[in-house]
Structure 1
């Protein structure tokens, strides 16, 4: 049964945030809000957590998981970014964008796209996500909470708790966070390729 935490959207209670991150370090799979929609997340080295996300979402091995990072310095530990791409990504963060980039050796092989050796990264502009990341001290391995057969991600914490009670360990709720996933930009080839149009404005990448 999932543990439900109701967090203040503007001033998250540190006691609750620390409780959640302690559970993440202990192997918990968490449903949490971001600046685009709810996501499923676990610790970077949590192999079982990754498998559980694949199972819940019915994902294959080609799916790009996302490393949700606190800031640009942390993001730079996990992906290779050349000068031109650096400027483009820096200008769009924090925000509702996921960038696909060549991964560094800091990223476990099982998280990489099997052929491209790339990984998705993002820096969210969301108070709760940032509080979790600051307390955790490392990225969250994440994927949009979009269930198989559904057109839109889940948006209400209580519904997530009700529907996924036996497949996630923690639900963090801070109110409605929208239904539109991030815009995904693939920079792995050196130039911007828009893979998915979502919450982030694509004009700067076209």
Structure 2
């Protein structure tokens, strides 16, 4: 059964953040809030956790396009090829925020991402995932939680999310209702921003 932790953005309890980080370090799967929708996450360096995340999403790991959640832009060079000034300016002006930026990947990607030519980088404007990544010391892999409802695309109620994923994840972080609009996906691989999916973020 998943443990529900109430961690609110205005006053996140450090002991709860530590508990979440320890769970990630042990290969656990978490559900966490962001500045857009609720998402599933795990440690990018734990291959078994990554496989479990792919299994929950009913896909093979090598076909998965999990974005990488960072707490700032300092991890960029760990995963991406050198970027020019114009691209960096776009990132700097829109991060943190409701965007997933597609960038060219380098060869230092974690094992689960090996062979990927591009990588989606996300820095949510939400203290909870920022604190988790900061405390963990490196980014987490992430994928949005979709809803089975045809009208409501994304699940917004953490209690209903907890019920649905009770036996699939280790921790559900309840930060109140989430948004029903995902991040805007922007491809920066050509140097010019190309919006691949309209979402909450506006460039």
TM-score (norm 2): 0.90
Q: Tell me the distance in 2 between the aligned counterparts of 1:137 and 1:128.
A: 14
State the secondary structure of the residue aligned to 1:131: helix
Q: Across the two proteins, how many residue pairs are aligned to each other? A: 200
For structure 2, the 5+ residue unaligned runs are none
State the secondary structure of the residue aligned to 2:22: helix
Match of 2:5 in 1: 5
Match of 1:165 in 2: 166
| CA positional deviation for 1:69 | 0.3
- Following TM superposition, the consecutive aligned residue runs of length 4 or more in structure 1 with deviations greater than 3 angstroms are 59-63, 147-151
| CA positional deviation for 1:109 | 4.9
Q: Is the 8 A contact 2:47 2:111 kept in 1?
A: no
Match of 2:107 in 1: 105
Q: Tell me the distance in 2 between the aligned counterparts of 1:181 and 1:48.
A: 27
State the secondary structure of the residue aligned to 1:124: coil
Q: Is the 8 A contact 1:66 1:142 kept in 2?
A: yes
State the secondary structure of the residue aligned to 2:55: helix
User: Using a 3 Å threshold, how does the CA distance of structure 1 residues 129 and 200 change in structure 2: closer, same or farther?
Assistant: same
Are residue 174 (structure 1) and residue 150 (structure 2) matched? no
Are residue 45 (structure 1) and residue 45 (structure 2) matched? yes
TM-score (norm 1): 0.89
Are residue 186 (structure 1) and residue 198 (structure 2) matched? no
User: Using a 3 Å threshold, how does the CA distance of structure 1 residues 147 and 37 change in structure 2: closer, same or farther?
Assistant: same
Aligned-pair Cα RMSD in Å: 1.9
Q: Is the 8 A contact 1:57 1:148 kept in 2?
A: no
For structure 1, the 5+ residue unaligned runs are none
User: Using a 3 Å threshold, how does the CA distance of structure 1 residues 149 and 50 change in structure 2: closer, same or farther?
Assistant: farther
| CA positional deviation for 1:18 | 0.3
| CA positional deviation for 1:15 | 0.5
User: Using a 3 Å threshold, how does the CA distance of structure 1 residues 163 and 41 change in structure 2: closer, same or farther?
Assistant: same
